Amino acid sequence: MNAEVELARERYSGIPAIAECEWTELVVLDSDEGAVQLAIQSDMGAETAAEHAGEAAVIAYAQAHSCTAIIDEREALSQAVERMVEARDSMWIATEALHVLDDIDRGDAERVVDDLLATGMWLPVKSGASLVAWAYREGYMDR
């Protein structure tokens, strides 16, 4: 996963290094977690050692440590569900921030979505301005 972030940082200078974020922790999978990662990659049809490595590592770690996986790739989300790993995506994070963070407003959340879209990331909306309407349709705004 860290390698994927570092590659993205080469193209998008605004992305901080994982090690620089105080809310993150770099971890190394143990051998059991590594075996699960490889099994997930295989189940996802990986043809190289790097293909789906980040998503599979996140799922393997989350499963071993009973934590939530943050992943966006649809197939990876399916793999998490199959393994009974709680998983969330970027759209959930953007809408959840509106519920729980006092210093995040709708404009902030919309800008996050626009920034993700600007990287070429596929999201189920075409712009940040569509975030809240989409979130209501999906039930993310129900509280």
Over residues 89-114, the pLDDT tens digits come to: 999 999 999 999 999 999 999 999 99
Whether residue 82 is found in the same domain as residue 108: no
Amino acid at 82: E
Whether residue 37 is found in the same domain as residue 61: yes
Distance CA 120, CA 137 (A): 24
Whether residue 61 is found in the same domain as residue 121: no
Whether residue 73 is found in the same domain as residue 95: no
At residue 13, the pLDDT reads 82
Q: How confident is the model at residue 119 (pLDDT cuts 50, 70, 90)?
A: confident
Whether residue 79 is found in the same domain as residue 53: yes
Whether residue 79 is found in the same domain as residue 108: no
Crossing angle (nearest 10°) for helices 53-65 and 2-11: 140
In the chain, how many domains are there? 2
At residue 117, the pLDDT reads 94
Any idea what the Cα angle at residue 122 is, between residues 11 and 80, rounded to 5°?
105
Whether residue 8 is found in the same domain as residue 72: yes
At residue 100, the pLDDT reads 93
Whether residue 77 is found in the same domain as residue 124: no
At residue 143, the pLDDT reads 64
Distance CA 121, CA 100 (A): 25
The boundaries of the domain holding residue 6 are: 2-88
Assess contact for 56 and 37: CB atoms under 8 A: yes
Residue-wise pLDDT for 19-66, tens only, equals 898 988 889 999 999 999 999 999 999 999 999 999 999 999 999 999
Amino acid at 34: G
Q: Is residue 69 part of a domain?
A: yes
At residue 12, the pLDDT reads 84
pTM of the model: 0.85
Phi, psi angles (nearest 5°) of residue 70: -105, 105
